[in-house]
């Protein structure tokens, strides 16, 4: 099974490395180093992602892989509070924890 299909699995995979490697592969296959550029397709000024079907497919694969990584990191992606996560990371960074 491809990593981008794992988000539909009954159980969550425990190994993150294949998913990280798959993100790298998708970006390399798309000849970019940025998921954001995939999102904006071949026309960076446009927010329309479906202008280039290959880029749209690659972006959707990235999203599926990222969903699994986020689920591994947080347990339940629907409960992630990005603002609270940012505040905590910023606070700990400012304190020199990492």
Could you report the per-residue pLDDT of 77-88, keeping only the tens digit for each? 778 888 999 999
Statement: residue 37 has pLDDT above 90: no
Instruction: State pTM to two decimals.
Output: 0.77
What's the token pair of residue 42? 């071949």
7: domain range? Answer: 3-94
pLDDT (tens digit, 9 = 90+) per residue, 1-31?
788 888 888 777 889 999 999 999 999 999 8
Q: How many domains does the chain have?
A: 1
75, two tokens: 């347990």
DSSP 48: -
Residue 27 and residue 10 in contact, taking contact as beta carbons nearer than 8 Å? no
């Amino acid at each position: 099974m491809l990593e981008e299909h794992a988000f539909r699995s009954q159980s969550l995979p425990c190994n993150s490395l294949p998913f990280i490697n798959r993100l790298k592969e998708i970006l390399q296959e798309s000849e970019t180093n940025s998921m954001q550029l995939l999102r904006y397709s071949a026309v960076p000024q446009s927010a329309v992602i479906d202008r280039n079907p290959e880029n749209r497919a690659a972006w959707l694969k990235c999203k599926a892989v990222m969903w699994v990584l986020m689920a591994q990191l947080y347990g339940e992606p629907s409960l992630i509070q990005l603002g609270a996560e940012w505040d905590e990371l910023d606070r700990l960074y400012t304190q020199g924890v990492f």
